[in-house]
Amino acid sequence: MRYLPSTMAGEQVLVIDDSPTILKVVQMVLAKAGYAVRVAGGGEEGVRAAREERPDLILLDFVMPKMNGYQVCRALAEEERLRDIPVVLMSAKGDQVGERFVKVMGIVDYITKPFSPDAITAVVDHIVAKYIRQGGEGGPRELVGLRAPTESEAEALDVPEPPPGFERDNTAPRVSEAERQRREVFDALREAVAVAMSGDLVADDVADQIRARLPDEVIELALRELGPRSDPTVVLEGDLGAVPIAHVLGLLQEQRQTGILSIRHEQGRVEVHFRNGKVDFAGAVGLGEEFILGRYLTSLESISRQDLDLFLSSRAQTARLIGDQLVKLSYITEADLRAALARQTVERIYEVLRWAGGRFTFRSTLDLGPLAEGASLGLSIDGILMEGLRRVDEWHLIEREVDDYETVYLRNEEAVKEVGRGQLTREELAVLELVTGKATVKDIVRQSRMSTFDVTKMLFRLKSTRLIRRRVAPVAV
């Protein structure tokens, strides 16, 4: 359990979710809005936290291992001191789950994942005004009370119990005790560096803080791990296995940093250009065709595939960027280019959020390069993380079914005819047409000009509804 003090005197919000990164993002958003935020990484921890220090409001994830949202509500309802705490349910199936809980158990509201930073702040502000302060327009605050459902109501809710030993995949991989201790060391170092970056302490004070918090042998180990820095502009670096990149992105936004964050992984390299804590552009090397600018221009229907191919085949050798050339020749508008660059930047960051390993380096500099200067997108990390982390959770499910990009799928023509193509989305139809019994998943990604995430999500849906199946190689006899 961690506590983030608010800069303003605000109500205390307890956030209960088994995703560490979701906790971090919601914590940053609500703290920025003036609330005192505590977080708990699961149902049992959340109930303990509420007992230790009664919060004014609870944000509760619905699907969690060991103790789910339903069980947390029942535990709170059984204690007189806790049953009148307003509870807001967070669920990817908000409309289906939330209304039933509001009616049956006394949940005051629900919000559907993924939600934007503005949405979560608006919900919390509304609940605080209605149930905690005097109420809207100076009226009395409304009363709230959780209650345990009757046996028939509990059956109607149809909430499945988590199976024994069930553990949901998180963005943070399972680690050994030695690795956990190592990560704690780097978290302590990172926090000290963050204080230094904020300008609140001078270097000597930061060094004293580190010495006070860590044993000498641990400091020596960390220094060996980090190694000497030859570039004085490098102010933050580390291992993605120790510090999730979402935390780094959030820190740079929180500290309103300007510079270039380089993330290196075996799949490639992405450089995120920050200006005053906002993202101006994300460049990439080695990520593949799905992340090139042309795909986003065609997917946004700013230019046809044929016109783009014609332009590329006749393009003169020049140092001018492709996007700038397309604008100059009136193929696209400035607004088209900006929208495509924003989509490209966001999806490159989504890809980075999936990387469990690799290294990151942040270099503090005002020289962000011509691409970032030209784009100047000014994107908020909060919104990117909300959607990106939702995708990470989806990836865990999808990759269990679509786990090999060399797999070939066959269409189940009878099932397709029975369902009817009119019942499928445009994206599902586009992918279905590329399932030929010969094309691999990799081929479909390349031919569709869609992202790997979007293609595999469509394949996952089509496979789940039995409209396609894996092609099985014949057994040699």
The answer to whether domain 2-157 and domain 402-470 are alike in fold is no
* Class of residue 443 by CB neighbours under 10 A (exposed 0-12, middle 13-18, buried 19+): middle
Directed axis angle between helix 20-32 and helix 245-254, to 10°?
10
Give the per-residue pLDDT at 210: 59
| Cα–Cα–Cα angle for 18, 350, 248, rounded to 5 degrees | 65
b/e map 455-464, b = 16+ CB within 10 Å: bbbbbbbbbe
What is the distance between the alpha carbons of residues 456 and 237, in angstroms, rounded to a whole number?
33
Give the per-residue pLDDT at 37: 93
| Cβ count near 303 (within 10 Å) | 19
| Cα–Cα–Cα angle for 124, 128, 130, rounded to 5 degrees | 115
Report the CATH architecture of 402-470: Orthogonal Bundle (1.10)
Give the per-residue pLDDT at 270: 92
What is the distance between the alpha carbons of residues 359 and 237, in angstroms, rounded to a whole number?
7
Domain coordinates of the chain in residue numbers?
2-157, 172-227, 229-389, 402-470
Report the CATH architecture of 2-157: 3-Layer(aba) Sandwich (3.40)
Is the pTM value of this prediction over 0.75?
A: no
Give the per-residue pLDDT at 349: 93
Give the per-residue pLDDT at 251: 87
Give the per-residue pLDDT at 318: 56
Give the per-residue pLDDT at 150: 64
Give the per-residue pLDDT at 139: 52
Give the per-residue pLDDT at 18: 84
Give the per-residue pLDDT at 377: 94
3-state SS string for the chain: CEEECCCCCCCEEEEECCCHHHHHHHHHHHHHCCCEEEEECCHHHHHHHHHHCCCCEEEEECCCCCCCHHHHHHHHHCCCCCCCCCEEEEECCHHHHHHHHHHHHCCCEEEECCCCHHHHHHHHHHHHHHHHCCCHHHCCCCCCCCCCCCHHHHHHHCCCCCCCCCCCCCCCCCCCHHHHHHHHHHHHHHHHHHHHHHCCCCHHHHHHHHHHHCCHHHHHHHHHHHCCCCCCCEEEEEECCCCCHHHHHHHHHHCCCCEEEEEEECCEEEEEEEECCEEEEEEEECCCHHHCHHHHHHHCCCCCHHHHHHHHHHCCCCCCCHHHHHHHCCCCCHHHHHHHHHHHHHHHHHHHHCCCCCEEEEEECCCCCHHHHHHCCCECHHHHHHHHHHHHHHHHHHHHHCCCCCCEEEECHHHHHHHCHHHCCHHHHHHHHHCCCCCEHHHHHHHHCCCHHHHHHHHHHHHHCCCEEECCCCCCC
Task: Compute mean pLDDT per 10 residues along the chain, 477 residues long, and list them.
Answer: 42 89 81 90 93 93 83 88 89 61 77 78 88 60 67 58 41 45 55 48 54 58 52 81 85 90 89 95 83 85 86 68 86 92 92 87 90 90 84 75 84 87 86 90 82 83 87 61
